[in-house]
Structure 1
């Protein structure tokens, strides 16, 4: 279901221009900002989007625009969303709409000062499909994924850079300690690919950990065949007590004596595949009818 890269990305690309030439955009710790400097890596991240039948794209946390530049080489309608007013001002100055129209007259570019986690994404593109990408702030990256799942009907494709362990967790298969809530909830609706690893030294300031780039491609059928809210509750409850067997961790569901004897409940959550969790949710759902 998921794929994982086996080597670290080592770029020889040209770094971005020194900060004094780019404009006074200072990375802010409280926003989790680490600005990517390597042009080759930025281009590769931009190319992670396949954009098959989709022209609307949201870039989260564009910062100094190193990824934005390569996204704008594509004929798309791009919204760059950031909370940092300094970044917003810099992007508006450096990537004017008039300049971009000269390259792609049928595309559009908008810089939006907004909190992605609080924003109504449907207000951007209506009922149209859209993709999401970005060099995501580490401190909210998991929340970004959970919000993406809330809009999955509109998002056929999602890619971007996370802290490496988070990217690996999202793409991990069962049987691993890294396998968890994010793994199951994402892979229930998306095919997950870990693409490449990015070292700390290509950022300003450099983070203390490696970063990982992934791509999520929405499955053709989003119907699980069970109540989705119950499915999420089962998964979260199971992994919140991951050392226990499901028979013990799922007691809150008041399972019948018959269901308690089901062999599946003797497993720990990391042993369960996504398909297993869906099947278990169906059993719990039928057990309460």
Structure 2
């Protein structure tokens, strides 16, 4: 068999109904290219391998799991990349879809990797720590709405699909889990540049309790700062508001 490695944030999904439900949440068509992140013991991998007429690959950092997967699922041989998803190159030419029970200790970093790959990834389905899933999916006006919400929702529609009980895992995690689906927007937010947009959003939320005029003072001229929008707090602004402000930055 294989061992669990806490250092890699490994909690393996053992509930078969939940495994099928996660795979069914990823829409696929004939010829679809699909990348699984962190297959681990193959809980959802075995169902992905059963999907007809798709081009499948998986990225797994743990060498022991790679050996186990190749022995257990012969169909996966030649389709495994033994490295961290954070270091991985684009696995396919053209468009592909992403799925995974993401290691919770790097799930936020995986989202930033998705943003790097957004021109190639049109749909992604992932299981996250519930707190992170809620943050990604939250709308403006909620206390969970923050940097990750805005940066992801500028490019993807986010759907909070369902929650997964701790007893569905071995070992059971000490946190709640949830599955979300991200679908790339046909018309992403109109930002001036990704670099400026990130600076704007991060600066605004770093002092989220203050009126925007205070933290954003270095980013705008005095005249622009008189706009009433700067009397609001970061969580009150929509993604479109942040996008529009990015065009007025110094």
TM-score w.r.t. the length of structure 2 is 0.95
Superposed CA offset, 1:101-147 (max 9, x none): xxxxxxx96011111101112xx212x10111100000000000011
Which position in structure 2 is the counterpart of 1:261? 226
Q: Return the match for 1:238 from 179, 196, 204.
A: 204
Indicate conservation of the 8 Å contact 2:39/2:59, yes or no. Answer: yes
Which position in structure 2 is the counterpart of 1:179? 145
Which position in structure 2 is the counterpart of 1:6? none
Matched, 1:30 2:22: no
Which position in structure 2 is the counterpart of 1:56? 33
Superposed CA offset, 1:70-99 (max 9, x none): 1111121111111111110010111113xx
Q: Return the match for 2:19 from 27, 42, 51.
A: 42
The change in CA–CA distance for 1:29 and 1:238 in structure 2 (over 3 A counts) is: same
Superposed CA offset, 1:133-180 (max 9, x none): 100000000000011001100000011100001001100001111000
The change in CA–CA distance for 1:53 and 1:226 in structure 2 (over 3 A counts) is: farther
Larger radius of gyration: 1
CA distance in 2, matches of 1:120, 1:252: 36
Instruction: For residue 143 of structure 1, give the secondary structure of its aligned residue in structure 2.
Output: helix
The change in CA–CA distance for 1:43 and 1:244 in structure 2 (over 3 A counts) is: same
Q: Which runs of 4+ in 1 moved over 3 A?
A: none
Indicate conservation of the 8 Å contact 1:78/1:109, yes or no. Answer: no
Q: Return the match for 1:125 from 88, 92, 104.
A: 92
CA distance in 2, matches of 1:163, 1:40: 19
Indicate conservation of the 8 Å contact 2:191/2:246, yes or no. Answer: no
CA distance in 1, matches of 2:189, 2:153: 13
Indicate conservation of the 8 Å contact 1:83/1:113, yes or no. Answer: yes
Instruction: For residue 79 of structure 1, give the secondary structure of its aligned residue in structure 2.
Output: strand
1:212: how far off?
A: 0.3
**Higher RCO, Cα 8 Å, sep 6+:** 1
Indicate conservation of the 8 Å contact 2:29/2:54, yes or no. Answer: no
Indicate conservation of the 8 Å contact 1:54/1:130, yes or no. Answer: no
TM-score w.r.t. the length of structure 1 is 0.83
Instruction: For residue 283 of structure 1, give the secondary structure of its aligned residue in structure 2.
Output: coil
Gaps of 5+ in 2: none
CA distance in 1, matches of 2:112, 2:17: 29
Indicate conservation of the 8 Å contact 2:191/2:197, yes or no. Answer: no
Matched, 1:152 2:118: yes
CA distance in 2, matches of 1:268, 1:223: 20
Number of matched residues? 249
1:225: how far off?
A: 4.6
Matched, 1:70 2:43: no
